[in-house]
Amino acid sequence: MPQLLIQIAYLFACVIFVTSQGYYSLIAPGYIKSNRNYTVHITLHESSEPVKINIYLEGPTYGFEKELFLKPFESQAITFLPPKLSSGEHKLIIEGVSGLRFYNETTLKAFESGGPKIYIQTDKAVYKPGDVVQFRVVLLDRHTRPLKISEPIRVDITDGNDNRVKQFKDIRLTKGVYKNKFQLSEHPVMGEWHLRVYLSGRFDFETTKQIKVQKYILPKFSVYIETQSDIILEDPITITARVYGQYTFDKYVEGQVRAQLVQVPKDIVLDEKEFQIKDLLNIEFKLNVTDLIRQAWGIRLRVDLMEKWTGQIRNHSQFIRLHDDPYFINVDSNTILFAKGKPYQLTASVRTWNYENIEDSSTPVTMQHGSRNYSAYLDANGETIFQFEHDPNSNHIFRYQNATYTMANIYAYEPYKGNKTETDLKLTLLETKPLLGRPVRIEVNSPKDMPYLVYSIVAHANIIYTEFVDLPMKPRRHVIEINPSIEMVPYAFVYVHYVDEGNYRYCEMKLTFPLEFENKIAVMAPKRVKPGAEVTLELKAQPASLVGILAVDLGVYLLDPSYDLHKDDILGSLREDVSGLPFLALVYPGLLSGVITMTNAHYEFVPLHCK
């Protein structure tokens, strides 16, 4: 296990010289990505005169520079749009060339494989010879909005032998969407075919989707299992399940069922039963808790259903997790509070394995830490707060009834003892839950008078908004109001700072928004219609929206559902679209937001080195 070594430094970036009187600051994402906006935010704080500043981005195949003039107490945001980056060192440099003379540089972490979001949808995942393949290409920007580009787009179709059999060029998008189709021959190459979308020019980016060409019979029914997903290890274990088969037209399947319980990971059959089924079938297994079961990751319930009339077999399985206790205890790292480098408070939660809150105000939750024992009771949300004296050599052991949870000791650090910044700003969210379409208010509190403040919003790995707020009354409290947009889903970071007597005062906060699209759509349709009858759909969306509709046989979905686009895949990628520091740190302005800070004001920096 690597040792963690702490080393205290004053400034990380290489400051070559600073002359004249005054202070500047620059914040920028620590990550730079191909074909993605990269924004730097520069502020001239206290200064005796205006300053001329040069900004440089330097890389092996990309470079950019910008000249700007700032008056005292003025901010400006500069945005670069790098093309496809290459491997090698990338630097961000800021230089004051008149008024306030300084030079500062830092290394950035570059990502070469970056580009727009390209999604390919087909009307099926598996095709027969002679079928028509219909497809749709959707190009979105980093905020899930339709991409507007002028660069060439091409689609290549390759067969199972990687021969190009079709190409579409000179493609024009309609609100970020392109659709087309092509015909398979009666004797095509069988196997895996590919649809490749290429963006040329500055993007130099591509995405591929796979389809299959083979002879097949569409499944007419599917198998369903309804059972518990978590089971407590009691002797004996009782596993109950409801099993049924259903045709694509909703009628239940009649036939023979074979149900197996399989130990995971050894794939050993623990028990097996056979049944006749007409509609819904309730089954039950009882197992003694043996060593084989205690060694298991879980149990898989596998069901094979053979249709009575055709002998066609379909199967389905369900994984069941095993637990020693009915509850689990957890500590969210975001609830851990520090004072002078040491943790002193945390919040523990107790839940059932179905993630239900435990409302129990009479049974204590205990925490053993070092030689001390702590006790607290759960609130209505199933949570409790522990305040403790930190022991640097001991883990935290929590107990509730028979449930036990051991959390590794919280890492403490020795605060910087030099002429440090007093990072005593505090941000408080005044809303219970941030939502799109509703203003979000954040209260800034300071123990000293604030003559001004600068705040930035960091989201989707870039700085998306900046503002310099003049505070002539020098209050100690100020409320910032933010209007959320899709650019902040699901995470946005608020970074507030100003310079006071040469000290860089700052604070950061993370905002979490529901994972949803900006444009809402609703579809209303009848649940049942007769064969051959017209089907009327009622769609609701924002004005001027482009709506794409895909209608398929349910058997197509049961055969292979990979042809379709899924909301979770598109929105889920936003969770990973964050910036970060190009170095390890425990304390640093910008650590939470993932931005580097370059300034000649004083701040605390505790780097982290792993050996």
Q: What is the pLDDT of residue 14?
A: 42
CA angle centred on 67, ends 62 and 72, rounded to 5°: 135
Does residue 372 have a pLDDT over 50?
yes
Task: Render pLDDT for 16-42 as a digit per residue (tens, 0 to 9).
Answer: 445 557 999 999 999 999 989 999 999
CB atoms within 10 A of CB 521: 11
Global pTM reads 0.76
pLDDT tens, position by position, 447-456: 899 999 999 9
Q: How many CA atoms lie within 13 A of 332 on its CB side?
A: 9
Please name the residues in contact with 40: beta carbons below 8 A apart, sequence gap of 6 or more.
26, 27, 28, 55, 77, 78, 80, 92, 94, 463
What is the arithmetic mean of pLDDT over 345-350?
93
Higher pLDDT residue, 219 or 57? 57
Q: Are 491 and 575 in contact (CB under 8 A)?
A: yes
**Start-to-end CA span in the chain (Å):** 9
User: How far, in Å, are 9, 421, 446 from residue 104 at the CA level?
Assistant: 16, 19, 29
Q: Is the pLDDT of residue 575 over 60?
A: yes
Position 96 pLDDT exceeds 90: yes
Look-up: residue for tokens 């990505």? 33
Whole-number Å distance between alpha carbons of 348 and 367: 10
Residue pair 389/469 in contact (Cβ under 8 Å)? The answer is no
Q: Answer positive or negative: Cα dihedral of 182, 184, 189, 191.
A: positive
> Rounded to whole angstroms, what are the CA distances from 395 to 5, 371, 383, 586?
19, 11, 20, 20
> Which string of b and e fits 104-133 if b means at least 16 CB within 10 Å?
bbbbbbbeeebbbbbbbbbbbbbbeeeeeb
pLDDT digits (tens, 9 = 90+) for 324-333: 888 999 998 8
Alpha helices in 455-592 (DSSP H): 554-559, 567-575
Q: Average pLDDT of 247-270?
A: 92
Query: Percentage of residues in the chain with pLDDT exceeding 90?
Result: 59
Of 17, 24, 16, 12, the closest CA to residue 599 belongs to 24
The DSSP result for 318-378, as a single string, is: EEEEEESSSEEEEE-GGG-EEETTEEEEEEEEEEETT--B---SSSPEEEEETTEEEEE--
Q: For the chain, what is the mean pLDDT? A: 88
**Cα–Cα separations (whole angstroms), residue 444 to 8, 498, 587:** 28, 12, 20
The token duo for 609 is 């080195």
Backbone φ/ψ region at 250: left (φ over 0), alpha (ψ -120 to 50), beta = left
Lowest mean pLDDT among 14-18, 153-157, 208-212, 597-601: 14-18
Summarised one tens digit per residue, pLDDT across range 494-509 is: 999 999 989 999 999 9
pLDDT over 80 at 55, yes or no: yes
Q: Cα 175 from chain centroid?
A: 26
Looking up tokens 């500069």 gives: 78
- Banded pLDDT at 576 (limits 50, 70, 90): confident
CB count in 10 Å sphere of residue 222? 20
Is residue 152 predicted with pLDDT exceeding 70? yes
Collapsing DSSP to helix, strand or coil, 225 comes out as strand
The SS3 assignment for 499 reads strand
pLDDT of residue 191: 94
**Is residue 197 very low, low, confident or very high in pLDDT (cuts 50, 70, 90)?**
very high
